[in-house]
Amino acid sequence: MEYRHVPFITLSEIKPRVWITLSGCNFKCKGCFSPAKGIAGQKMDVDELVSLVKKASLDYYQKLPGEIIITGGEPTLNRSYLLDLVSKLNSSAVIIIETNGYFLDEEYIEELIKVGLSEIMLDLKAYDEGLHRWYTGFPNKTILENARTIHEKINLIIKTVYTPGIIDEVEIEKIARFISDIHPEIEYRINDFKPLKGLSRTPTDLEMENAYSAAKKHLKNVIISRSCRREKTTPKKKSWITVFPDGTMKRRSLKN
């Protein structure tokens, strides 16, 4: 029996959309603000996790989710677990993984598609090899190659966190140029950095807008967002529901 540690899953209040957070990550990003970078939460096998997703969704929405995003931490760490999870979640939902892309290769991507994956959201931390290595502890050659492979096979979204003084407008334009060489219509999302432990700061609105303009020179679909990954706009009074492995629910907002 295989397990991953799950700190929580999250339900959107906007529409039946569920995020599954699998804890643990191979990268050592200097600015990581994920509560799931290290091992956190309860050990769950795939059947237990699928039951939690279905029960929480039926209790809250009175129906199964239309979209499920498997995130982390890093969801690809345990290949057989992830394949089993995607396969057992696969009802009629759109299933997406959010990944740093390091462990993927053509065969792994094809296996995921075969069991029902709909889309890959690739976190591209930096284009410059030295910067990527410094920031994450790992090279990015495989990840850049994987971006091309993913685009050939399945819907690809690429995401970068604007981190002032480290991953800024100049680096974001390099990434946008790289993406446009694959295809100029690939969606590119620029999120803002949330400072932790003294590294960098939150970018200003002007910095985010300048990064957007730099990326727009090369790409048709660029989005800047300070909110959660799949929520392009967060209507007032709408937020998210955190569901813990024991099934208890807690409402939260952009502030927490």
- Is the separation of the CB atoms in 171 and 179 below 8 Å? no
Residue 178 has phi, psi (to 5 degrees) of -60, -45
Q: CB-wise, 34 or 210, nearer to ligand SF4?
A: 34
Compute the least distance from the CB of residue 78 to ligand SF4, in Å: 15
**216: helix, strand or coil:** helix
Give least dist CB 33 to ligand SF4, A.
7
Nearest distance, CB of residue 175 and ligand SF4, angstroms: 16
Name the minimum Å distance from CB 114 to ligand SF4: 25
Cα–Cα distance for residue pair 171/175, rounded to 1 Å: 6
Nearer to ligand SF4, 159 or 218 (CB): 159
Q: Are 128 and 174 in contact (CB under 8 A)?
A: yes
Nearer Cβ to ligand SF4 (16/195): 195
State in angstroms the smallest separation of the CB of 126 from ligand SF4.
11
- Closer residue to ligand SF4 (CB): 93 or 120: 120
Our CB check for ligand SF4 shows the closer of 95 and 126 to be 126
Binding positions for ligand SF4, rule: CB under 6 A: 25, 27, 29, 32, 34, 37, 72-74, 100, 123
Non-local (6+) Cβ contacts of 30 within 8 A are 134, 135, 166, 199
Q: How many whole angstroms separate alpha carbon 12 and alpha carbon 230? A: 10
Q: What are phi and psi of 85, to 5 degrees?
A: -65, -50
Nearer to ligand SF4 (CB atom), residue 31 or residue 66 = 31
To ligand SF4, the closest distance from the beta carbon of 38 in angstroms equals: 9
Q: How far apart are CA 172 and CA 89, in angstroms?
A: 34
| Distance from C-alpha of 57 to C-alpha of 205, rounded to nearest angstrom | 35
